[in-house]
Structure 1
């Protein structure tokens, strides 16, 4: 079968035309004919062995891709998490970890959306504990998941949404997705902090969902620092680290503000929360996308071109999706 295979960690995956088809091992597994699979930061870091979830894996040849969309034997269209790699014509999936797709949804959109929903909805609902009327800051909102987070924050009832990012054009685009104010992180630190302090004083920030971490996180935490008075509670949730994996955090900040600092990722969710993600949250968002109520931008490439596009820079706010013609 056609497949995208990683032979050595740190290399570029290869397109293979005759990779062995996977086989099911028990009654809870099914074979899915894959039609599309998104290339995500998680897939790239997992394939290279740099993601924390891959520590200890052996450097053996394997099909990459953790999820995708396709057809079951009876023709049912589904999104599923893969037991075997999903960037191939066939993949093994579990019955309990698949979602039937709504009518009318584009398969590339269906492949691109679920990971971004996990990276935004779980942070907003379970870590930020967003509620109607909240003021929410999305740090790094110009990326694909950041754009989804903006839309879901409004869907979950946020009254005011602030978005930060580097790309001025992408920041402007966010205003059309419901963002109330955009702040460029390309400006000098003093101006960035001063503007956030003004916002926080006028409409206290209830939640921060952060896809950048690094220095921008240090600036945000400085902006919400207290000055000896009672402070507004802020739930700060780190989801990604595109601007750096480590920060310097002053003890003074933690002592001066009612701050709840936490993270959202695979290891931080409970089994029950994961069940809700699969059974309720992702299906709801797929339905919204099918109805045109959720904006999802994708760029598709055929599976045969993987070696050409693996390290290609994708336009801000878009997700690259591999299309597989069986």
Structure 2
């Protein structure tokens, strides 16, 4: 089968389009013929070996696939690697049927990034009606869903940040009340966008200065949920005394901890499917690449030039 393999750590240049043996189905797992594979920003960490779990070489990246099972079901699945390929195996309890009316791309936009957005708001932030929510990287895979869900769940004001005018326009089209560009004065910009008041919830995956400035913009009892570090730069602002003095909270989230409890993925995913079918939620599929050009997809996502969900097509030659 055709697949993308890495045999050395590095950037997009280490992604090689190769022939590999087909995976062997084993008990408790099902073989999936992949029709689309999802690309996540975390995959760029995988190739660098800078993610939360180590990458053991050689490796086939990819944590999610859509495709068909041997008995003809259309499914979307979470996999512990191996998604960038024509065939993949997934644990039976992490395979979910795709409803009629949902495309492969939409299913991939929801199964990992969509469920992450749902969990950020419900499990980590415990969003209450009327609270203000900041969504950083609001035009990205998690951000596009988080903006819409925050509005749907009653946020009083949703403030999006994005790097270009086009991305900020998309965030507003998806329901953001205000869309701004992050900068050195981000704290002040966030407070200004919230009518002069500190904010209640921040969903943050950039790290570094964006994390630090966002934390300073929190109101008493505000919560910052961190779920990534795209800048590859750590925060310098976490001081327990200052957290206590301002009654602020910092919560970390990683969807990987849900893999051992599949119901924590299945239940939100079914709600996200229903919201999509009802026209309440619009999963954004921002780009499709042939599997052979996985490196191009990684370059695009690292260059911050993409929106929504990126997918790979194993059926398409470059």
Matches within 5 A, 1:54-65: 54=54, 57-60=55-58, 62-65=59-62
Cα distance in 2, alignment partners of residues 239 and 301 from structure 1: 26
User: Paired residue for 1:218?
Assistant: 212
C-alpha RMSD of the superposition: 2.5
Separation of aligned partners in 2, 1:67 and 1:136: 28
Structure ID, larger Rg: 1
Name the stretch that deviates more: 207-216 or 251-260. 251-260
Q: Matched residues in 2 for 1:67 and 1:81: separation?
A: 4
Give the TM-score normalised by structure 2. 0.87
Is the partner of 1:151 in helix, strand or coil?
helix
Number of corresponding residues: 310
Structural mapping, 1:13-28, within 5 Å:
13-16=15-18, 18-26=19-27, 28=28
Partner residue of 2:246 out of 253, 257, 260: 257
Q: Which runs of 5+ in 2 are unaligned?
A: none
SS at match of 1:320: strand
Q: How does 1:88-127 map to 2 (within 5 A)?
A: 88-127=85-124
User: What is the alpha-carbon distance in structure 2 between the residues aligned to residue 156 and residue 90 of structure 1?
Assistant: 38
Cα 1:309–1:166 change in 2 (3 A) is closer
Q: How does 1:1-326 map to 2 (within 5 A)?
A: 1-10=1-10, 11-16=13-18, 18-26=19-27, 28-54=28-54, 57-60=55-58, 62-82=59-79, 85-186=82-183, 188-189=184-185, 192-198=186-192, 204-224=198-218, 232-249=220-237, 251=239, 253-266=242-255, 271-272=260-261, 274-277=262-265, 279-295=266-282, 296-312=284-300, 313=303, 315-325=305-315
CA distance in 2, matches of 1:169, 1:87: 29
Listed one character per residue, the Cα deviations across residues 52-85 of structure 1 (whole Å, up to 9, x for unaligned) are 211xx4322x322111100011111011122561
1:170 alignment partner, SS class = helix
Once the two structures are overlaid, the 10-residue window that deviates more, 174-183 or 203-212, is 203-212
Task: Find the aligned partners of 1:317 and 1:8 in 2 and give their Cα distance.
Answer: 28
How many angstroms does 1:287 deviate by?
Answer: 3.4
SS in 2 for 1:32: strand
Closer/same/farther in 2, CA of residues 110 and 232 from structure 1, 3 Å limit: same
- Per-residue CA deviations over 1:131-151 (Å, capped at 9, x if unaligned) read 222211112323232121111
Q: Distance in 2 between matches of 1:310 and 1:175?
A: 26
- SS of corresponding position for 1:99: strand
* SS of equivalent residue, structure 2 residue 268: helix
C-alpha change, 1:92 and 1:113, in structure 2 (3 Å) is same
Q: Using the alignment, how far apart are the partners of 1:138 and 1:320 within structure 2?
A: 19
Unaligned runs of 5+ in 1: 225-230
Q: 1:107 to 1:245 in 2, by over 3 A?
A: same
Q: Deviations over 1:188-225 (max 9, x none)?
A: 52xx433434456755522111122211222222334x
Whole-Å separation in 2 of the counterparts to 1:29 and 1:250:
42
Cα distance 1:30–1:130, how it changes in 2: closer, same or farther (>3 A)? same
CA distance in 2, matches of 1:306, 1:249: 36
- 1:306 to partner: Cα distance: 3.1
CA distance in 2, matches of 1:270, 1:88: 21
CA distance 1:263–1:184, shift in 2 (3 Å): same
Cα separation, 2, equivalents of 1:142 and 1:308? 19
Deviations 1:89-135 (A, max 9, x none): 21111111111101021112222332211331111111101122221
